[in-house]
Structure 1
Amino acid sequence: MPGIERDVRPDASHGPRPPRLQRDRIERAYKEQLRRAAEQQKVEREARRPACAGCGTKLTDDRWKAAQAHPTPGPRWHPTLCDGCEDRAVRAASQAENEHQEQEEQIPGQKAGGWFSRLRT
C-alpha cells in the first residue's frame, strides 16, 4: 500500500481540505457578514446620536464627544445645542447682559432715592 502513504498530508487529521471554490465562497460569506455587522453598528450609532435642541440637526462627532465629556451647561457652553445655535445663544445672552448693564447705568438717580437715602439725610 505505498500509494496511501503518498496521499497522507500533515493536516489530514483535520479532515480533507475543502475545494478552492468552496473556500472562496466561505470567505466571501464571512466578509459579507462582517460588512453587515459593521453597517448595523453604524446604523445603531446614528440612531443614538443626539440632535440639537434648537434646530434639530444631528450633532457632529466632535460636538457629541464634548457634550458627553462635559454634560453640565454653563454661561458659554450649551451641550444640547449645535455650534451654530450655541453661537446665537451666547450672543443673545451677552447682548441681554449688555442691555441690562446699560439700563442700570442710565438710571443711577432712581437707585439712590429709596427709603435708605431718606434716612441718610
Structure 2
Amino acid sequence: MRQVTNPDGEVLYRDQAACAVAQEERRKAAEREARRPVCKRCGQKFTDQRWEETTAGGGAWTAGDAAVCGNCRADDVARKEAARLQAAAPPEDDQEPDRGRGWFRRRT
C-alpha cells in the first residue's frame, strides 16, 4: 500500500496553526492590558510588578493606597517620611525659654 503525502498541505497546516496561536496570544495580551489598573492620581497604567503587589495578599504593600502607581506610592512614602522627620526635629527657636512663668517656679 502506497502512502500519499502532500508536503504543501502539511506546510499550510503548520502555518495556519502558528497563525492561530499568534492570534490567540495577541488576544490574551489585549485582554490583559484592558484589565490593567490605572493610577487614580496620575492616570498612568500600573507596571506588572506594581499590579502584582497590589493584588497579592499581604506583603510589604499592605499599608498605603493600593489604587496608586509605584511612582505616586513612592511620593507618598517620601512625603510621610519628611513629615515624620520634621515632627521629630527639635524646634529651631534660638530664644531662651521664658523663666519664672510656670505654676511652681519662683520669679527671679
* TM-score normalized with structure 2 length: 0.66
Q: For 1:58, which of 23, 42, 45 is the aligned residue?
A: 45
Please say if residues 49 and 64 of structure 1, whose CA atoms lie closer than 8 Å, have aligned partners that are also in contact.
yes
Unpaired stretches in structure 1, ≥5 consecutive residues: 1-7, 107-121
Unpaired stretches in structure 2, ≥5 consecutive residues: 94-108
Please say if residues 50 and 59 of structure 1, whose CA atoms lie closer than 8 Å, have aligned partners that are also in contact.
yes
More helix by share: 1
| Residue 40 (structure 1) aligned with residue 27 (structure 2) | yes
Please give the alpha-carbon distance, in whole angstroms, between the structure 2 residues aligned to 1:84 and 1:63.
10
* TM-score normalized with structure 1 length: 0.60
Percent same amino acid among aligned pairs? 24
Larger radius of gyration: 1
Please give the alpha-carbon distance, in whole angstroms, between the structure 2 residues aligned to 1:90 and 1:28.
52
RMSD: 3.0
Q: Between Structure 1 and Structure 2, how many residues are aligned?
A: 93
Residue 45 (structure 1) shift: 0.6
Residue 95 (structure 1) shift: 3.8
Residue 36 (structure 1) shift: 0.3
Please say if residues 50 and 64 of structure 1, whose CA atoms lie closer than 8 Å, have aligned partners that are also in contact.
yes
Please give the alpha-carbon distance, in whole angstroms, between the structure 1 residues aligned to 2:83 and 2:62.
18
Please give the alpha-carbon distance, in whole angstroms, between the structure 2 residues aligned to 1:100 and 1:30.
65
